[in-house]
Homo-oligomer: A and B are copies of this chain.
Amino acid sequence: MRYELYYWPSIQGRGEFVRLALEEAGADYVDVARLPARHGMGMPALMRWLDGATIERPPFAPPYLKVGELVIGQTANILQYLGPRLGLAPRAEAGRIWTHQLQLTLADLINEIHDTHHPIASGLYYEDQKLEARRRTADFREQRLPKFLDYFEQVLQRNPRRGSYMVGARLSYVDLSVFQLIAGLRYAFPRLMTGLAPQYRGLFDLHDRVAIRPRIAAYLASKRRIAFNQQGIFRHYPELDQPL
């Protein structure tokens, strides 16, 4: 089964959480919008699902994943679908519900990270909401980020198969997402994250262990991995990055 991933071609964004799962599993997939439009791919192929007047079940936004006739939207929903099929989710129902719950909580944090630089409107430039971004990021740095990281660190420490993974004794898609979260936060807020590292050793270690998994390391070194940049969720504005 070939998976077709549809996501904006020039950013990691929310699509990256799906890419990491597909890469770790060595899945057969195409990153549609990054392929040439003359081959029926590219942005026209992506936009067809959003704008097509006859799509019965249109996604609201990328990423979406096409699997045969099925088109699945919403990042956490895609990962929930892929998890068992790629060997990246627990077998028991309770474990799957818990894994999905963690992914949804991570999605909430990702939304808040986006809003640090776009607190007023995603359709406006950062430059048009710089003052508000400064206020929102101060609260993010002092209140919201520690609350979320405390939570995820605690989840890791309380996993009875202690110390290695977020859920159970094996890697799941949530571990890959935690890797991406920590990598992105380090890109966006290097000074802040250097200061926080000692408090969240479990999460930082998990990041490091994911980064050296053979398939992830190969992916990160490849051209398939888009670099962090100033159009994505994680953006580095030095004026927003202060140590706690």
Chain A residues packing against B (C-beta within 8 Å) = 55-60, 70, 72-74, 76-77, 80-81, 94, 97-98, 100-101, 104-105, 108, 111, 115, 119-121, 123-124, 129, 132, 135-136, 139, 143, 148, 151, 154-155, 158-160
Contacts and interface: CB of A to CB of B under 8 A. Distances in A.
Q: Give the number of copies in the complex.
A: 2
Contact of A120 (B97, B121, B132): B132
A35 to B, nearest CB: 25
A74 B121 contact: no
A123 to B, nearest CB: 6
Nearest to A143: B123
Nearest to A95: B57
A104 to B, nearest CB: 4
A220 to B, nearest CB: 28
A120 B136 CA distance: 5
A97 B70 contact: yes
A77 B135 CA distance: 32
Given A72-B97, A104-B77, A143 B121 contact: yes
Contact of A132 (B132, B151, B158): B132
8 contacts: A55-B158, A56-B160, A74-B105, A77-B100, A77-B101, A104-B104, A115-B115, A121-B135
Contacts of A98: 57
Q: 8 shortest A-B CB distances, which residue pairs?
A: A121-B139, A74-B104, A60-B105, A74-B101, A73-B101, A120-B135, A120-B136, A77-B101
Contacts of A55: 158
A175 to B, nearest CB: 16
